[in-house]
Amino acid sequence: MSGKRVVITGVGITSPIGNSIDEVSRGLREDRSGVRVVPAFGEVEGLRTRLGAPVEVDLSALPKKRTRTMGRVALLSTWATQQAIDDAGLTQDLLSSGKVGLAYGSTGGTSAAVEDFVRKLYVQKQLGAIQSATYLKFMSHTCAANLAQYYAIRGRVITTCSACVSSSQAIGYAYENVKHGYQEVMLAGGAEEMDVVHAAIFDLMFATSVKYNDQPARSPRPFDADRDGLVVGEGAGTLVLEDYERARARGAHIYAEIVGFGTNCDGLHMTAPSEDGMTAVIERSLADAHLDRSRIEYVNAHATATDLGDVCESKAVLRALGDQVPVSSTKGFTGHTLGGCGAIESVFCLAMLRDGFLAPTKNLERPHPDVAPVALLSGPARDASPSIVMNNNFAFAGLNTSLIFQKV
């Protein structure tokens, strides 16, 4: 289906390896690890992993009166969104005009607010001790709701609470809104805050990295024979999307054009991935972009360093794209930023398009024998001039996304 061309004119990011597109570009090229030992994880009896990838960013500049309903995840999303708005040169009058919409997601809200609410209600049985703003910090759409209020957004607001495809779905739905003329501009992305709850969830599934607790920079290890699980991380990414003709008319800087988006569901299992579902979503994004698979010059894989996920994804890439396209997972640098990963990794793709390189899979030394023979990137970053790149993400319940970015 034809429609308007959709371009990216603003970028905001806070991540374990940097808080701007310039910083993350350097981090990917300089082999910087964002993984650390997290002392708080050691305080929980039975929790095996000690590794996390925190963000180092000063959120104190955000006005307290306007952020009292925000927990850390919403604060991170606001910090990144302000960056993107400033980068794109959007005015407050435009943001409030109804011409601008918002699509934003996370896996959930602030865990500390949940604990505070539940403890006072169920343990202390004191309703009067609970602040009215506590729920607003942990509700599932806290990022989108708080951003809409903070920036007085009067256009469409789309909330994506879909685990690890939250922010990539948000970008895709924002792209469709601009493409079909429902909004002139969309703010899109997602965020996640790191909490012991996330580490515990994956630890209970025996999916976290534990062998490298004393060597944090060596984990996670996507696709590697010595991988032993994921590392939880945090961060936020926001993109400003608008119609190409509008962007060109106002002289906006254009990072790239979004030319393809696909999303689907396996409909099979809550946690096990599906090679068929992954293959199909890649093919859907190619069809949306009207591109032959040979045109894709790089794939940013979702690979989290888990046994089933890495292998299944590699087989899907081989089926859908062949064995020649360079593939890497940037989670070796940042850990798994969960609901924020689609947006954060999209910014990584934009950095590669802009600065002329392909990021490797950090810590990939020896591919696991079960991983399909795709062209995995390892070692130092590779100088290149990519013009069309793909970013894939997958989530619990078999939710899949694929985005294609092209240089303008």
Active site residues: 164, 302, 336
Integer Cα distance of 112 and 353 in angstroms: 38
Helix pair 111-118, 196-204: axis angle to 10 deg: 90
259, 406 Cβ separation under 8 angstroms: yes
Name, in order, each residue with C-beta under 8 angstroms of 270's C-beta and a sequence gap of 6 or more: 396, 397, 398
Cα of 68 vs its chain's centroid, Å: 25
Phi, psi of 308 (to 5 degrees): -70, -45
Residue positions counted in the chain: 408
Phi, psi of 11 (to 5 degrees): -135, 135
Side chain identity, residue 6? V
Query: How many H helices and E strands in the chain?
Result: 13, 16
Q: How far apart are the first and last CA of the chain?
A: 20
Instruction: Name the DSSP letter for residue 278.
Output: H
> Degrees (nearest 5) of the Cα angle 28, 32, 35?
120
